[in-house]
A and B are shown apart, each in its own frame.
Chain A
Amino acid sequence: MDGQLARRDPRFAPLLDQFVCVRLVQCWGLDRRIFSFDPNLTLVVFFINAQGYVYGRFGTRDDRRGERYVTAQALVEAMKAALELHAQWPRNRRALEGKWARPRWAQPQLIPTLQGRFVPVGKDRHRCFHCHFIQGGEILAKRQLRLPVEDRDLWCYPVPDWLGFSLDPTKRALVHDVRPRSEAQAAGLQVGDEILSMDGQPIIAVADVQWVLHHARDGQSLPVVVRRQGMRRTLRLFLPSGWRRRGDISWRAISWMLRGEVLGLHAEPLGPRARFHLDIPASQVAYRITRVAPAWNRRANPAARAAGLHRGDVILSVDGQLLPPSTSLFLAWIAQRTRPGQTITLEVLRHGKRRKVRLRLK
Chain B
Amino acid sequence: MRSFGCVPWMMLWAGALALALGLSSAQAQVLGKPQLREALDDLELRGRWYYEDLEAARAEAQRTGKPLFVLLRCPP
Task: Identify the A interface with B (CB < 8 A).
Answer: 2-3, 5-8, 13, 16, 18-27, 35, 37, 41-50, 52, 55, 79, 82-83, 86, 121-124, 126, 128, 130-132
Contacts and interface: CB of A to CB of B under 8 A. Distances in A.
B60 to A, nearest CB: 5
Contacts of B73: 2, 23-25, 42-43
Given A16-B69, A45-B71, A83-B67, A23 B44 contact: no
Interface of B: 32, 35-36, 38-40, 42, 44-54, 57-62, 64, 66-75
Given A19-B66, A25-B73, A43-B72, 8 more contacts: A2-B73, A6-B42, A21-B57, A22-B51, A22-B54, A25-B40, A48-B68, A82-B69
Contacts of A26: 52, 75
A7 B44 contact: yes
23 contacts: A6-B49, A7-B45, A8-B47, A13-B47, A20-B61, A20-B64, A21-B50, A22-B71, A23-B50, A25-B40, A37-B72, A43-B72, A43-B74, A45-B70, A45-B72, A46-B68, A52-B58, A86-B66, A86-B67, A121-B36, A122-B38, A122-B39, A124-B39
Contacts of A24: 52, 54, 70-73
A88 to B, nearest CB: 11
Contact of B49 (A23, A42, A83): A23
B51 A23 contact: yes
A76 to B, nearest CB: 12
Task: Among B39, B64, B72, find the residue whose CB has the most chain A CB atoms closer than 10 A.
Answer: B72
Given A43-B72, A83-B67, A121 B44 contact: no
Contacts of B42: 6, 23, 25
Contact of B45 (A6, A42, A126, A130): A6
A80 to B, nearest CB: 12
Contacts of B50: 20-23
Nearest to B62: A50
Contacts of B70: 22, 24, 35, 45-48
A18 B50 CA distance: 14
A49 B61 contact: yes
A124 B67 contact: no
B51 to A, nearest CB: 5
Contact of B46 (A6, A45, A47, A128): A6
Nearest to B35: A124
Task: Among B52, B60, B62, find the residue whose CB has the most chain A CB atoms closer than 10 A.
Answer: B52
